[in-house]
Amino acid sequence: MVKMPVEVRETLEKQKPIPIATASKSGVPNVVFVGLLKIVDDETLMLADNFFYKTAQNLMENPKIAILCYNSETKKSFQIKGDVMLSKEGENFDAMRSWVHGINNKLPAKACVMVKITEIYNAMWGPAAGKQIA
């Protein structure tokens, strides 16, 4: 796992909603916006599955994710890749439900998606585009 640099964390914190990409086992891509993403620590992110359909199916078949963040003020953009662990019970699930229901208790909070960050890339145009930074 890799640690998220401060500039990546700050950019991710400003992004709302956040585009995430998954793919089926056969490689069919899916991109959606997610409103609830929490930075657990510099190596771990938490997402709440409230209304996932294809995304949930993809993560069960292929537990990989890509997350894109962009800050229009700093003109920085990063792609974060990670391995996913899904849970519908246990400590992470309970923490996710508490967090989600603290924001809106009408959301279903069906599953907790824990992301262990594996790679981070510069996603901005220019000579450093696509360069792995962590």
Read out DSSP for 67-126?
A: EEEEETTTTEEEEEEEEEEEESSSHHHHHHHHHHHHH-TTS---EEEEEEEEEEEE-SSS
| Greatest CA separation for the chain | 46
User: Using one digit for the tens of pLDDT, what is the confidence trace for 45-60?
Assistant: 999 999 999 999 999 9
The CATH-assigned architecture of domain 6-122 is Roll (2.30)
All residue ranges of the chain with pLDDT < 70 are none
DSSP string, 4-69: PPHHHHHHHHH-SSEEEEEE-TT--EEEEEES-EEEEETTEEEEEESS-SHHHHHHHHS-EEEEEE
Say if CB 40 and CB 46 are below 8 A apart: yes
User: Using one digit for the tens of pLDDT, what is the confidence trace for 14-27?
Assistant: 999 999 999 999 99
Name the residue ranges covered by the structural domains of the chain: 6-122
